[in-house]
Amino acid sequence: MREVSELHKHRHRHGRRCHGLGRGRVPNADQLLQKLEEHQRDLEQEVADVADLIRRLKDQRPETASV
């Protein structure tokens, strides 16, 4: 039961994040837009990295004979 409790606490804290704008600070629209666009670019790069890794793993996989 302790693991569930710890997970709940983590999710609760995560849900209250303000996208790196500092604790207790309320962002204005321009700041929020800037941070969200930066976050989107980071996510797009991460997706590209994952796609590249998948492609390389598939290329390295030995050919299997079809039956």
Instruction: Tell me the per-residue pLDDT of 9-44, one tens digit each, with 9 for 90 and over.
Output: 544 455 555 555 566 778 899 999 999 999 999 999
- The reply to whether 36 falls in a domain is yes
- The reply to whether 37 falls in a domain is yes
Interior/surface letters 12-31, b for 16+ CB within 10 angstroms, e for the rest = eeeeeeeeeeeeeeebeeee
Q: How many CA atoms, within 13 angstroms, populate the side-chain half-sphere of residue 66?
A: 0
Distance between CA atoms of 35 and 40, rounded to whole angstroms?
Answer: 9
- The reply to whether 19 falls in a domain is yes
Task: Please give the model's pTM, rounded to 2 decimal places.
Answer: 0.52
Quote the DSSP letter at residue 21.
S
- The reply to whether 67 falls in a domain is no
Q: Which amino acid is at 25?
A: R
- The reply to whether 65 falls in a domain is no
Number of domains in the chain: 1
The pLDDT assigned to 62 comes to 81
- The reply to whether 64 falls in a domain is no
The pLDDT assigned to 57 comes to 96
Whole domain around residue 12: which residue ranges? 2-59
